[in-house]
Amino acid sequence: MSRQNSARADGKKVSSELFTLTYGALVAQLVKDFESDEAVNKKLDEMGYNIGVRLIEDLIAKGNVGRCHDLRETADIIAKLGFKMFLGVTPVVTKWSTAADEFSLILENNPLAEFVELPSGHENLNYSNILCGVLRGALEMVQMEVEISFVQDALRGDDTTELRVKFIKRLEDAIPAGEE
């Protein structure tokens, strides 16, 4: 019986496929439920936010990270620890603004979109928009307000997938984690 040593031996890969496909089923459902791509993007962002505010605890507990002293350090942790730990990829941090309050995360391959092809008629859909919400929610829990958007998406024919992160302000008092 050669059954044991086939694809399943790589348990990590399989569970990430479960994740990818589950996310795909969610997006498909949202596209059915909402009339516009913008509404889908918004909902994905919202769901991502709810995940982010919880995921940050996981990251801090498992990742053994302290406080970040500047945005460069934050960017580093997001890319090398956060993305690595939860999605298994390490995006490249680049395109810093001169004031060092904005940077881009370039994803060579996007694990969320592994099996995806966007049908025509969804030009405004940010398929992986949940990532924006996750980052926003997670950073809010460490007192940082940020604005995140997709500036490029390989699914829409761009060369790469690029997330732009813009630091807005430091949140003074911890805001209680309310769900949107």
CA distance 45 to 129: 6
- Decide if residue 12 touches another protein (CB under 8 A): yes
Question: Which of the ranges 82-90, 101-109, 140-148, 150-158 carries the binding residues for another protein, by CB under 8 A?
Answer: 82-90
- For another protein, the binding residue among 37, 40, 45, 55 (CB under 8 A) is 55
Q: What are phi and psi of 112, to 5 degrees?
A: -65, -30
CA distance 152 to 120: 17
CA distance 95 to 97: 6
- For another protein, the binding residue among 85, 168, 174, 177 (CB under 8 A) is 85
- Decide if residue 17 touches another protein (CB under 8 A): yes
Per DSSP, helices labelled H in 3-113 are 11-33, 37-63, 71-77, 84-87
Using CB under 8 A, which residues numbered 104 to 143 contact another protein? 111, 115
CB of 69 to another protein, least distance (A): 26
CB of 9 to another protein, least distance (A): 9
Question: Which of the ranges 3-11, 69-77, 101-109, 149-157 carries the binding residues for another protein, by CB under 8 A?
Answer: 3-11
By CB under 8 A, how many residues form the interface with another protein? Answer: 40
Would you say 166 and 146 are in contact if contact means Cβ atoms under 8 Å apart?
A: yes
- For another protein, the binding residue among 38, 62, 97, 174 (CB under 8 A) is 62
20, HSE (Cβ side, Cα atoms, 13 Å): 16
CB of 173 to another protein, least distance (A): 26
Q: What are phi and psi of 62, to 5 degrees?
A: -85, -30
- For 97, 154, 155, 157, the CA distances from 127, given in Å and listed in that order, are 26, 10, 8, 13
Binding positions for another protein, rule: CB under 8 A: 1-4, 6-8, 11-12, 14-19, 21-26, 28-29, 33, 43, 47, 50-51, 54-55, 58, 62, 84-89, 111, 115
